[in-house]
């Protein structure tokens, strides 16, 4: 049972998840009748997940009334138009998964069918040559997208690379200005009420007792409340996502484009995330296949500049708690589950959980069915991201290490197996109504990692070969000209206010821009 | 690729035109006419269906509206939930107006908590146009800011059928008035033996004959009454619920059709309340369904059970036809396509049933539990509980009934949440009142300037609109 009236919400843990939650609750829930408290300890480090974000974060900031420029300056942010994947399908191959579409649907037939036919007819241009965000990202150019669906600029969206620690600090200031009370201290005990099994208090090292009616578990991997106290079990997905360690080192340096880079290594993959003041680097790896020292060595050998901090090692297991909200405990962030940062989904999952919590939270008489619906929707979010991540590992032709042999041959979830078979056999991408990754993302990874369908939609035959070839070349030239006119990312950031005057793009809950509009958050 | 379509009812013909339109000569379509209309009918085309027919199939709105009994506009459903409840209007995009970046229903709910009594429809231009019996399509003059997703029409089903049929004849599709005698599954195709003894193989068969072996059957009784009328109906359809059953009234120019229904066999009370005994027919109908099995796709006809409760009764069919059109001609593993099709259409079916079940459960109709499965009942209860306790909709499958439509549904049946959304709590109450008042005044300025529905229909029939 959840308490009939919630007068005090206690957030256990700071970091990105804790302060994002505090900020949103301060904005939408806090009132003289409902107090928000956050307990954190300086002695416990934060993981600082999600330096690379998804476009949805813009919608979160907008809801909170945070200006983009203020946010970007506070977090040393750069723009992000997608993620580059190197060596995933096979060593030497690369592709970019953009926040946007490839080409334009013609007569209800997705563009990639025309491209498949164009290739079959001997065309040279890759699918990426028909994606404005890919071309712009590689040229390190940037412009705001447009909401005018007739404009080429409506075919993409954008996110940021941020310093997650700075974002947490920024949101802390935001939250404290709005009445959130921060309590410094290490939690040494958690009190559980005898009558209903709800958590009733946190005891700090100094003996202080923090009582509350609803507890948000943002304690990270430790999952102090949901797992350790409420005993919620863990759905282990490590058989499909075998990486269980990461080591991170930031370094000095510049980066060539407005994108995150994910380079597959022999026993995992390396990230590079360009910020204004540094590059974030890390190696996510499988401890069954490589030692910590060897992984550190791989990472060090690939730094593009002088390291500016000591290596930070992380241990994790891919998977999810079987419920994110039990009794009066809601887990948000790593305490609810972990999916590796391959597609920058960590902050997205935090954000989605927060917004769903606010949607379903009521200070009085909260119904158990609302909790069930919250859990059902979070399960769906995790499941769909999980399958998309597994695809990256499984759709490989690499045989150069035991790790990749395992990934190539491992049994995958039935749903994913079906999706891959359907695409290979029919060129059809499974569609669904809710979730994060839609057709353009699946196409990017399928084709980028060498899963090419045996056929294409016969409607793509409607255009005669010569006309198709000319149309494809024209579209590519049109996009190249558009990119050519865009300012560089540095120019854009320097002249941000001037460009922002003409901004016609709102923040949507979508990866892909106005053409494929998602639900407003 | 060869495709056989059984039944030239509206759904069979829509499917045939859709496939022809998309694939031209790449797919050969043959239609076997097993259609036997029970009675003339009127069909409501909601916004998604209308857009599909106009945009995807290429028919003009003017052609659809013309006909022996010209069509009328359809901006929403007028619902009388039964008992003492007031009549409400549910429009196609009922929460178009926004306050504090949230749909307007949140503001109305917030106001109700402090004693406000205004109904959601007060803030819908379409609903106020229904009441005033006025109509104009969005135009360059900017007279009326209705969205495309707010406009539907009501036309004669036979007129629509004739239009579709003429298009198919123009496209050279063969229409044969014969029956199928035998079907034989062969290697990656189906051999069909016709009633005249001829035989042919097809890659796919689409059957829109009612198939009660596949779809769940529901028994209901009904009485249909037609009336001629000189006055033109308001641009809406009316549904009235009472303990005996429900009646819905649809119109085209000059004609009105009232259908009265109850669950199961009509009892004496129903007969006494509604009609003479000899008018009542007990009919077995099916829930909406679509299934792909052994290269045969079975599709419900549009008058599947409970369709009359939906704002856009053909919407589920249109979704399935669009999906089918994308899948049929692929030279691929039919089992994979079948699985994909069945999973997607199951979602459409669930979304459809959820709304129909909610209509029944909120109404006083007798025997309703008899036709509702345990699963549907549990989903309904959960949905209502979430709405009551949080003011939030449950995430619906298949994008069939949007969050706004669900909100309007609850309002129409006088179901209001006892907790309102936190997302609007941060907005000052005075600001909410002011913004609602602005919307109200804005609509009040627009509506009196619009032409009458009758005049506008006459313009369309003169080809001037």
Model-level pTM?
0.92
Quote the CA–CA distance of A489 and A503 in Å, as a whole number.
16
Spot the catalytic one: A80, A141, A320, A356.
A80
Nearest to B423 among A359, A364, A430 (CB): A359
State whether residue A310 sits within 8 Å of chain B by CB: no
Q: What is the pLDDT of residues B356-372, one digit of tens each?
A: 999 999 999 999 998 99
3-state secondary structure B347-398: HHHHHHHHHHHHHHHHCCCCCHHHHCCHHHHHHHHHHHHHHHHHCCCCCCHH
Residue A418: list chain B partners with CB under 8 A: 336, 339-340
Residue A31: list chain B partners with CB under 8 A: 425
Do the Cβ atoms of A279 and A252 come closer than 8 Å?
yes
State whether residue B421 sits within 8 Å of chain A by CB: yes
Identify the pLDDT of residue B210. 66
Identify the pLDDT of residue B208. 85
Residue B337: list chain A partners with CB under 8 A: 422, 426, 428
- Per-residue confidence band for A520, with pLDDT thresholds at 50, 70 and 90: very low
**Cα-Cα end-to-end distance for chain A:** 28
Test B422 with A359 for CB contact under 8 angstroms.
yes
How many Cβ atoms from other residues are within 10 Å of residue A384's Cβ? 16
- Per-residue confidence band for A128, with pLDDT thresholds at 50, 70 and 90: very high
Q: How distant, in Å, are the alpha carbons of A35, A86, A393, A406, B254 from that of A396?
A: 51, 12, 6, 10, 66
How many Cβ atoms from other residues are within 10 Å of residue A478's Cβ? 13
Test A421 with B333 for CB contact under 8 angstroms.
yes
Q: What is the pLDDT of residues A283-326, one digit of tens each?
A: 999 999 999 999 999 999 999 999 999 999 999 999 999 999 99
Buried b / exposed e across B366-379, counting CB within 10 Å, b at 16+?
bebeebbeeebeeb
Residue A194 has pLDDT above 90, yes or no: no
Closest approach of B219 to chain A, Cα-based (Å): 32
- Concerning whether A107 is annotated as a catalytic residue, the answer is no
Do the Cβ atoms of B396 and B89 come closer than 8 Å?
no
Test B23 with A425 for CB contact under 8 angstroms.
no
Tokens of A19: 């302060």
Do the Cβ atoms of B215 and B22 come closer than 8 Å?
no
**Cα-Cα end-to-end distance for chain B:** 41
State whether residue A454 sits within 8 Å of chain B by CB: yes
User: Which of A257, A518, A369, A109 has the alpha carbon at shortest distance from B385?
Assistant: A369
Residue B211 has pLDDT above 90, yes or no: no
Test A459 with B394 for CB contact under 8 angstroms.
no
Do the Cβ atoms of A516 and A161 come closer than 8 Å?
no
Do the Cβ atoms of A409 and A56 come closer than 8 Å?
no
Residue A421 has pLDDT above 80, yes or no: yes
Closest approach of A411 to chain B, Cα-based (Å): 19
Q: What is the pLDDT of residues B376-392, one digit of tens each?
A: 999 999 999 988 888 88
* Average pLDDT of every residue of chain A: 92
Quote the CA–CA distance of B54 and B33 in Å, as a whole number.
24
Residue B340: list chain A partners with CB under 8 A: 418, 422, 428, 430
Buried b / exposed e across B79-117, counting CB within 10 Å, b at 16+?
bbbbeebeebbbbbbbbbbebbebbbbbbbbbbbeeebe
Place of tokens 């495709």: B3
Mean pLDDT is lowest, of A407-411, B151-155, B301-305, for B301-305
User: Which of A317, A310, A290, A35 has the alpha carbon at shortest distance from A179?
Assistant: A35
Test A28 with B388 for CB contact under 8 angstroms.
no
Surface of A (333-392) touching B: CB under 8 A: 358-367, 369-370, 372-373, 377
State whether residue B326 sits within 8 Å of chain A by CB: yes
Test B426 with A430 for CB contact under 8 angstroms.
no
Residue A519 has pLDDT above 50, yes or no: no
Quote the CA–CA distance of A292 and B321 in Å, as a whole number.
55
Surface of A (56-75) touching B: CB under 8 A: 63
State whether residue A469 sits within 8 Å of chain B by CB: no
Residue A365: list chain B partners with CB under 8 A: 389, 418-419
Q: What is the pLDDT of residues A33-70, one digit of tens each?
A: 899 999 999 877 666 555 899 999 999 999 899 999 99
Quote the CA–CA distance of B286 and B294 in Å, as a whole number.
21
- Per-residue confidence band for A521, with pLDDT thresholds at 50, 70 and 90: very low
Q: Give the start-end residues of each E strand in B76-159.
A: 76-80, 88-91, 98-99, 102-103, 152-156
């Amino acid at each position: 049972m959840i308490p009939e009236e919630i007068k005090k919400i206690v957030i256990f843990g700071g970091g990105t998840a804790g302060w994002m939650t505090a900020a949103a609750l301060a904005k939408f829930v806090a009132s003289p009748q409902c107090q928000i408290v956050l307990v954190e300890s300086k002695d416990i480090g934060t993981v600082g997940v999600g330096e690379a974000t998804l476009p949805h974060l813009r919608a979160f900031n907008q809801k909170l009334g945070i200006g983009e420029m203020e946010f970007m300056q506070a977090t040393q942010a750069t723009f992000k138009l997608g993620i580059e994947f190197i060596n995933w399908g096979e060593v030497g191959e690369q592709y970019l998964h953009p926040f946007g579409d490839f080409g334009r649907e013609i007569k209800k037939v997705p563009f990639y069918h025309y491209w498949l036919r164009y290739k079959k007819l001997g065309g040279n241009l890759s699918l990426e040559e028909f994606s404005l965000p890919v071309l712009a990202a590689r040229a390190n150019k940037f412009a705001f997208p447009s909401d005018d669906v007739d404009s080429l600029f409506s075919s993409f969206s954008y996110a940021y690379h941020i310093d997650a620690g700075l974002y947490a600090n920024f949101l802390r200031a935001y939250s404290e200005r709005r009445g959130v009370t921060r309590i410094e201290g290490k939690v040494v005990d958690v009190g559980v009420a005898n009558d209903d099994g709800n958590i009733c208090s946190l005891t700090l090292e100094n003996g202080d007792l923090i009582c509350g009616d609803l507890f948000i578990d943002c304690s990270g991997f430790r999952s102090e409340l949901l797992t350790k106290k409420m005993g919620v079990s863990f759905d282990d997905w490590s058989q499909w996502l075998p990486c269980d360690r990461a080591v991170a080192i930031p370094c000095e340096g510049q980066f060539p484009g407005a994108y995150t880079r994910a380079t597959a290594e022999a026993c995992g993959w390396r990230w590079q995330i360009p910020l204004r003041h540094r590059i974030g680097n890390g190696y996510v790896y499988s401890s069954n296949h490589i030692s910590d020292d060897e992984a550190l060595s791989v990472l060090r050998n690939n730094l593009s500049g002088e390291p500016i901090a000591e290596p930070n090692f992380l241990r994790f297991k891919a998977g999810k708690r079987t419920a994110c909200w039990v009794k009066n405990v809601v887990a948000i962030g790593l305490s609810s589950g972990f999916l590796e940062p391959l597609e920058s989904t960590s902050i997205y999952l935090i954000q989605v959980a927060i917004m769903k919590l606010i949607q379903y939270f009521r200070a009085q008489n909260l119904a158990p069915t609302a909790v069930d619906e919250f859990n059902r929707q979070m399960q769906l979010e995790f499941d769909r991201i999980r399958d998309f991540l597994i695809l990256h590992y499984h759709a490989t032709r690499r045989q150069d290490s035991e790790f990749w042999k395992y990934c190539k041959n491992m049994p995958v979830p039935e749903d994913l197996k079906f999706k891959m078979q359907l695409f290979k056999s029919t060129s059809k991408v499974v569609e669904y109504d809710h979730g994060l990754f839609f057709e353009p993302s699946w196409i990017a990874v399928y084709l980028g990692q060498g899963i090419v369908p045996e056929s294409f939609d016969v409607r793509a035959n409607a255009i005669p070969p010569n006309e198709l070839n000319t149309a494809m070349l024209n579209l590519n030239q049109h996009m190249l000209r558009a990119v050519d006119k865009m300012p560089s990312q540095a120019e854009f950031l320097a002249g941000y206010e001037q460009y922002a005057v003409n901004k016609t793009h709102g923040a949507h809950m979508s990866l892909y821009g106005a053409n494929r509009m998602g639900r407003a958050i | 690729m060869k495709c056989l379509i059984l039944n030239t009812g509206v759904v069979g013909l829509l499917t045939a035109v859709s496939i022809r339109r998309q694939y031209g000569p790449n797919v050969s379509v043959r239609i076997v006419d097993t259609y036997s209309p029970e009675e003339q009918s009127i069909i409501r085309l909601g916004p998604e269906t209308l857009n599909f027919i106009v945009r995807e199939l290429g028919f003009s709105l003017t052609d659809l509206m013309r006909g022996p009994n010209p069509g009328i506009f359809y901006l929403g459903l007028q619902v009388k939930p039964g008992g003492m409840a007031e009549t409400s209007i549910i429009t196609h995009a009922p929460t178009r107006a926004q306050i504090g970046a949230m749909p307007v229903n949140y503001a109305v709910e917030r106001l109700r908590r402090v004693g406000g009594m205004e109904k959601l429809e007060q803030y819908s231009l379409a609903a106020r146009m229904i009441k005033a019996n006025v109509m104009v399509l969005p135009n360059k003059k900017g007279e009326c800011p209705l969205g495309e997703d707010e406009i539907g029409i009501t036309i004669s089903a036979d007129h629509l059928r004739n239009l579709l049929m003429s298009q198919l004849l123009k496209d050279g599709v063969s229409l044969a008035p014969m029956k199928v005698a035998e079907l034989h599954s062969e290697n990656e195709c189906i051999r069909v033996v016709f009633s005249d003894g001829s035989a042919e193989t097809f890659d796919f068969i689409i059957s829109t004959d009612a198939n009660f072996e596949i779809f769940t059957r529901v028994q209901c009784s009904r009485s249909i009454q037609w009336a001629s009328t000189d006055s033109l109906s308001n641009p809406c359809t009316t549904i009235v619920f009472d303990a005996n059953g429900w009646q819905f009234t649809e119109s085209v120019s000059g004609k009105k059709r009232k259908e009265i229904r109850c669950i199961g066999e009509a009892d004496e009370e129903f007969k006494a309340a509604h009609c003479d005994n000899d008018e009542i027919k007990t009919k077995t109908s099916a829930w909406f369904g679509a299934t792909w099995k052994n290269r045969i796709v079975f599709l419900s006809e549009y008058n599947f059970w409970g369709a009359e409760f939906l704002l856009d009764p053909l919407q589920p069919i249109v979704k399935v036809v669009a999906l089918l059109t994308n899948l049929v001609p692929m030279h691929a593993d039919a089992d994979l396509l079948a699985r994909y099709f069945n999973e997607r259409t199951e979602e459409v079916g669930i979304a459809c049933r959820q709304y129909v079940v909610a209509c029944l459960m909120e109404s006083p109709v007798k025997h309703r539990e008899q036709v509702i499965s345990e699963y549907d009942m549990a989903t309904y209860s959960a949905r209502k509980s979430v709405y009551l306790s949080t003011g939030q909709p449950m995430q619906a499958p298949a994008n069939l009934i949007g969050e706004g439509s669900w909100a309007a549904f609850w309002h129409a049946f006088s179901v209001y949440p006892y907790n309102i959304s936190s997302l609007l709590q941060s907005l000052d109450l005075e600001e909410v009142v002011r913004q609602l008042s602005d919307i109200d005044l804005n609509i009040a300025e627009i509506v009196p300037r619009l032409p009458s529905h009758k005049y506008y229909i006459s313009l369309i029939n003169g080809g001037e609109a």
